[in-house]
Amino acid sequence: MKSFLLALLKSRSGLFGFVLVLVFILAALLAPYLGLPVPTRSSLVARMTAPTWTGLFSPGAHPLGTDELGRDILSRIIYGSRLTLTIAATAVVLGGIVGTLLGIVAGYYRGMVDRVLMRIVDIQLALPLMLLALLVIAALGPSTSNLIVVLALTSWLRYARIIRGQVLALREREFILSAHAIGASTWRIMIKHLLPNVMTPALVIATLELARIIIMDAALSFLGLGVQPPNPSWGRMLADGRVYISTAWWIVTFPGIAILITVLSVNLLGDWMRDYFDPKLRTSR
Amino acid sequence: MTKAPLLEIRNLTVAFDTPSGTVHAVNDVSYSIEEGETLGIVGESGSGKSVHALSMVGLIATPPGRIVRGEVIFNGRNLLALSQRELFDLRGREIGFVFQDPMTSLNPVLTIERQIAEPLRRHFGMSASQARIRVIELLELVGIPDAEQRARQYPHEFSGGMRQRVMIAIGISCNPKLLIADEATTALDVTVQAQILDLVRELKRKIGTTVIWITHDMGVVAGLADTVQVMYGGRIMESGPVRSVFYDPRGAYTWGLLKSLPHGERRGTNRLYQIPGNPPDLTQEPVGDPFAPRNPFATDRCRVETPPLVNAPDSVPGHKVAAWYDLRAEIQRMEGRP
Amino acid sequence: MSDTLSTTAPQAGSPLVSVRGLSKHYGGERRLLGGSAPLLKAVNDVSFEIAPGETLGLVGESGSGKSTTGRILLQLETPTAGNIAFRGQDITGLSKHALKPYRRDMQIIFQDPYASLSPRMQVGEFVGEPFDVHGLSGSRSERQDRVASLFRKVGLDPSFMKRYPHEFSGGQRQRVNIARAIALNPAFIVADEPITALDVSIQAQIVNLFQDLQDELGLTYLFIAHDLSMIRYLCHRVAVMLRGRIVEIGPCEAIFDNPQHAYTRALLSAIPVPDPDIERSRRPLSFDVNANLPSEEAVLRPVGDRHFVLEG
């Protein structure tokens, strides 16, 4: 952990990403203690208040303005990040684990296992993701956990396909043969020899996927299938705010910026982590 | 009056800027080659033998590569001062190349004829039919039977040895003044290697091209080169007429290499002589004799001061060595002791 | 043949490894559309024995099937036909589980020291992995000590245990591979071109290490190579392979001093010698492989003491 932080301090972009992610996480965790207005409390008098930077610490201040129901946007973004980040992170981790493992299994066993798994991937890729998500949610009903499952479902195949390709190449490498030669079990070969060597592509996909999933979550919320009102989520805020883009630009702009910064910082952090976990690059720092 | 050498390299120094630091790949390399000569350059990976040859015709990627200093005078022109455009016209036309891997050096989707004709058409502006005549002539020259028919085939229809013959045909297609072969037989089987080496000797007789033959194999150089140059850690350690260097080496590295190869002994005889240690770390700033850490005869001076490449005492003209120690005296002392 | 081999108990003078009629064919299966994939006989009816403590050299050009033979011996590939006996026990086609005890006795060292180390595993872990797999790790410090002693045995500094493969030179990586291969005190090691990819100045170090370990541990080697001068230096007997078949096998002296098969002669005449005078007067014999493919009916016939040549 110490070396991790030391290495992080040496990378400007990695540190930047790390700090931003940390700020988002802390803000989400500490939201109730920040003295923010209740995110769901509407106030008709304060409808669509433009952002004001005067009297920031007075109780009625809305630094990022209010939405069409007079709810404080800053508060909604911070409270919204709790749901959005939890949903996105869980979905990325879930999809990543399932996809990586299935990719390893397909690439390692080849043959029938591989063919079946890859056909499933092909079929799913042929279906529009949104349609799939709509179908599943329509069938299961909208809830946070269903949303996570659906998002993970749209995500695993990206890992599976790329990791499978990597494993196909890796399994011919001599260190895998060497593991067979000492009598290592299939499980050991997968976990100790294949997995560490596919972590880099998996991490790259994960950072891209996190961004995609946040946007997809927004899209689903936009269609009313994601987080249910009045709970705030970034996607929902975008969806609701779009109508007012010409009259009250802040309603839609600030959640958009929040998504942008999150995706950017995760990508920066991911890039750095990819290098960090590569022993070849680590010693050179 | 002596003729100017065909190629003269002065103080060529090449470095690569990598994440793990600056790699000092070629350090202060100077040598010249006369027209018609065959120069064998021997060295192991990281010796700078390939990098220096590629860098002088602009074939290393910059960055990370960087020519720190030096001059490469070829036929009266400084190659390092040429533009990309001029180098483009030079490569293949005046300097031909043959690389190690005949599998990846040929384009799999083009016929052999197209690939040999390409430099001819580009450099000489030949028409397709003119080029075709020359292609068949070249294929016959490099010993490919049924040239007319083979010319229309694709690389996968050729064996490894045959592909390397095609590569040589491309290398000599424009009658270059200089042919540089970089580990050109390393990927081939020994029997095929022997055939290719025969071909090169025959071509030298027929067309008299000047050749730089880069390899790690002392045996290949012994049979092919007029002069040999031994490289280690980005420097020239020893150079000179091939017999003199092989039979009377003055550098500890050359001596150790020759001694560590089995000379037809059978098992159960002595252990092989082994050079201790590992190849140098090229990210270290080069100080002193690069071979000093592995040299049993190294003196304190070897470790701090780089020896210049100078004429070896009491040897034939042109035999040069970079050493502060006296190898002959050291060997005598070592063998005198039981 | 397999019956007689598997039922006889190992006895003094019996071979450690014995291979009978080994074949490995690729392709040949019918394709969905039109005809069948071309059949490649990578290894074709190969038989030989290796005595305990012996080094058998296996030479041949690329594609001769020498590496495949080595891999089949360790059951890293399954043979199309034939069988392999180790200490008289037939181990052909055993399950992964049934093979596990044999894995302690038979190991392999590969050619490419860059591809044969797990890039994301510390080399100390890599060398100690056989202990973990066979439940012999003991306590943490015991394991550490044993790995350290393996490191010393192959001439590596034990303080390198925590490093990753890319921090090592080719020769050092090959030492790591050797340390792993000898971790479980095997009786037999297949060395698949272990020095081909190494720098010339390192090759002698590794060859000497192979010999020292043989003297110290009584190892038996199948040494696969295309460099005949090293084979001559290291091996008791030599087998020459051509397109999947052994064309000549015999004691080292017989093969080098009295080669019988045209291919062996061509191979011997083609080795470059680091001696300008010899090299310049040498005329390599040419041998057209495609025009001289051994016929399917050809058999190995004795031409001298333990010296056989493929004829027919």
CB-CB contact of C44 with C241 (8 Å)? no
State the best of A10, A274, A284 to mutate against chain B, taking most chain B CBs within 10 Å: A284
Query: How far does A276 lie from chain B, in Å, by closest CA?
Result: 13
- Mean pLDDT is lowest, of A49-53, B10-14, C154-158, C246-250, for A49-53
Structural domain contains residue A101: yes
Structural domain contains residue C265: yes
Asked if residue B19 has a cis previous peptide bond (ω within 30° of 0), the answer is: no
Q: With a cut of 80, say whether residue A279 has pLDDT above it.
A: no
Q: Which residues of B touch C (CB under 8 A)?
A: 44-45, 160, 189-195, 197-198, 216-220, 222-223, 242-243, 246-247, 253, 256-258, 260-262, 264-267, 271-276, 278-279, 294
- At residue B286, the pLDDT reads 82
Mark which residues 49-108 of B lie under 8 Å from A by CB.
none
Q: With a cut of 60, say whether residue B78 has pLDDT above it.
A: yes
CATH code, domain with A230? 1.10.3720.10
Residue B34: give the domain boundaries.
7-94+174-262+273-336
User: pTM for this structure?
Assistant: 0.85
Which value, in Å, is the radius of gyration of the alpha carbons in chain A? 22
Residue B201 CB neighbours (<10 A): 14
> Residue B64, SS3?
coil
User: Looking at residues B231-245, what average pLDDT do you find?
Assistant: 94
Structural domain contains residue B209: yes
- At residue A130, the pLDDT reads 80
Find, among B61, B69, B64, the residue nearest to B29 by Cα.
B69
Per-residue pLDDT band at A67 (split at 50, 70, 90): confident
Comparing A176 with B338, the larger pLDDT belongs to A176
User: Looking at residues B54-78, what average pLDDT do you find?
Assistant: 88
- At residue A56, the pLDDT reads 61
A146 burial (CB, 10 Å; 0-12 / 13-18 / 19+) is middle
Comparing C286 with B120, the larger pLDDT belongs to B120
CB-CB contact of B143 with B199 (8 Å)? yes
Share of chain C above pLDDT 90, in %: 59
Structural domain contains residue B187: yes
Contact A196 C107 (CB under 8 A): no
CB-CB contact of B236 with B226 (8 Å)? no
Per-residue pLDDT band at C2 (split at 50, 70, 90): very low
For B133-159, give one letter per residue: b (16+ CB within 10 A) or e: ebbbebbebbbbeebeebbeeebeebe
User: Looking at residues A57-66, what average pLDDT do you find?
Assistant: 71
- Measured distance between the N- and C-terminal CA atoms of chain A, rounded to whole angstroms: 16
Tens-digit pLDDT profile for residues C117-167: 998 899 999 999 999 999 988 889 999 999 999 999 999 999 999 999 988
Structural domain contains residue A86: yes
Can you name the residues that pair with C308 across neighbouring β-strands? C249, C302
CATH code, domain with B239? 3.40.50.300
Tokens of B292: 């000093």
Distance (Å, whole) CA A239 – CA B143: 74
Structural domain contains residue A3: no
- At residue C35, the pLDDT reads 65
CB-CB contact of A137 with A217 (8 Å)? no
- Mean pLDDT is lowest, of A6-10, A207-211, B235-239, B242-246, for A6-10
The rounded mean pLDDT for chain C is 88
Hey, what amino acid is at A78? I
ipTM: 0.86
Contact B267 C236 (CB under 8 A): yes
CB-CB contact of B162 with B144 (8 Å)? yes
How many distinct structural domains can be found in chain A? Answer: 1
The rounded mean pLDDT for chain B is 88
Q: Does A175 touch chain C (CB under 8 A)?
A: yes
Q: What angle do CA A58, A63, A68 make, to 5 degrees?
A: 110
Tokens of C227: 């460099």
- Mean pLDDT is lowest, of B28-37, B169-178, C7-16, for C7-16
Q: With a cut of 80, say whether residue A239 has pLDDT above it.
A: no
User: Looking at residues A14-42, what average pLDDT do you find?
Assistant: 83
- At residue B1, the pLDDT reads 46
CB-CB contact of A70 with A49 (8 Å)? yes
C266 burial (CB, 10 Å; 0-12 / 13-18 / 19+) is buried
- At residue B268, the pLDDT reads 61
Contact C199 B44 (CB under 8 A): yes
Contact C232 B246 (CB under 8 A): no
Tokens of C163: 């490093």
Q: With a cut of 80, say whether residue A5 has pLDDT above it.
A: no
Q: Which residues contact A152 (CB under 8 A, 6 or more apart)?
A: A90, A91, A92, A94, A95, A98
Distance (Å, whole) CA C240 – CA C308: 10
Structural domain contains residue C189: yes
DSSP string, C23-52: EEEE--PBPSSSSBPPPEEEEEEEEEEE-T
- At residue B13, the pLDDT reads 94
Q: With a cut of 60, say whether residue B38 has pLDDT above it.
A: yes
Share of chain B above pLDDT 90, in %: 37
- At residue C4, the pLDDT reads 35
User: Looking at residues C62-78, what average pLDDT do you find?
Assistant: 91
Half-sphere exposure of B311 (CA within 13 A, CB side): 6
Can you name the residues that pair with B21 across neighbouring β-strands? B18
Structural domain contains residue B79: yes
- Which is it for strands B320-321 and B310-311: parallel, antiparallel or unpaired? antiparallel
Asked if residue B64 has a cis previous peptide bond (ω within 30° of 0), the answer is: yes
| Token pair 């060398």: residue | C127
Q: What angle do CA A238, A242, A246 make, to 5 degrees?
A: 135
User: Looking at residues C289-301, what average pLDDT do you find?
Assistant: 81
State the best of B230, B272, B291, B316 to mutate against chain C, taking most chain C CBs within 10 Å: B272
The rounded mean pLDDT for chain A is 83
Cβ contacts (< 8 Å) between C100 and chain A: which residues?
183
How many distinct structural domains can be found in chain C? Answer: 1
Structural domain contains residue A240: yes
**Chain C residue closest to B245 (CA)?**
C276
Q: Does A177 touch chain C (CB under 8 A)?
A: yes
- At residue C34, the pLDDT reads 61
- Mean pLDDT is lowest, of A67-81, A100-114, B110-124, B278-292, for A67-81
Q: With a cut of 90, say whether residue B251 has pLDDT above it.
A: yes
Share of chain A above pLDDT 70, in %: 94
Query: How far does B76 lie from chain C, in Å, by closest CA?
Result: 33
Distance (Å, whole) CA A179 – CA B182: 36
Helices (H), B21-111: 49-56, 84-90
Structural domain contains residue C300: yes
Structural domain contains residue B228: yes
Contact A184 C129 (CB under 8 A): yes
Per-residue pLDDT band at C31 (split at 50, 70, 90): low
CB-CB contact of B30 with B69 (8 Å)? no
Q: Which residues contact B28 (CB under 8 A, 6 or more apart)?
A: B11, B12, B13, B70, B235, B306
- At residue A1, the pLDDT reads 60
How many distinct structural domains can be found in chain B? Answer: 1
Cβ contacts (< 8 Å) between A281 and chain B: which residues?
19
Distance (Å, whole) CA A201 – CA B287: 40
Comparing B206 with A225, the larger pLDDT belongs to B206
Hey, what amino acid is at B331? I
Q: With a cut of 80, say whether residue B237 has pLDDT above it.
A: yes
- At residue A200, the pLDDT reads 85
- Mean pLDDT is lowest, of A161-165, C38-42, C82-86, for C38-42
Q: Does B269 touch chain A (CB under 8 A)?
A: no
Distance (Å, whole) CA C310 – CA C48: 13
Residue A97: give the domain boundaries.
76-282
> Residue A103, SS3?
helix
Residue C207: give the domain boundaries.
52-76+95-105+184-311
Share of chain A above pLDDT 90, in %: 24
- At residue A55, the pLDDT reads 61
- Mean pLDDT is lowest, of A240-249, B318-327, C151-160, for A240-249
Distance (Å, whole) CA B230 – CA B216: 10
Cβ contacts (< 8 Å) between B195 and chain C: which residues?
284, 286
Contact A181 C107 (CB under 8 A): yes
Phi, psi for residue B16 in degrees, rounded to 5: -120, 130
> Residue B42, SS3?
strand
Structural domain contains residue C124: no
Facing residue for C108 by CB, picked from A181, A186, A280: A181
- At residue A268, the pLDDT reads 87
Contact C272 B216 (CB under 8 A): no
CATH code, domain with C67? 3.40.50.300
Find, among C90, C46, C102, the residue nearest to A181 by Cα.
C102
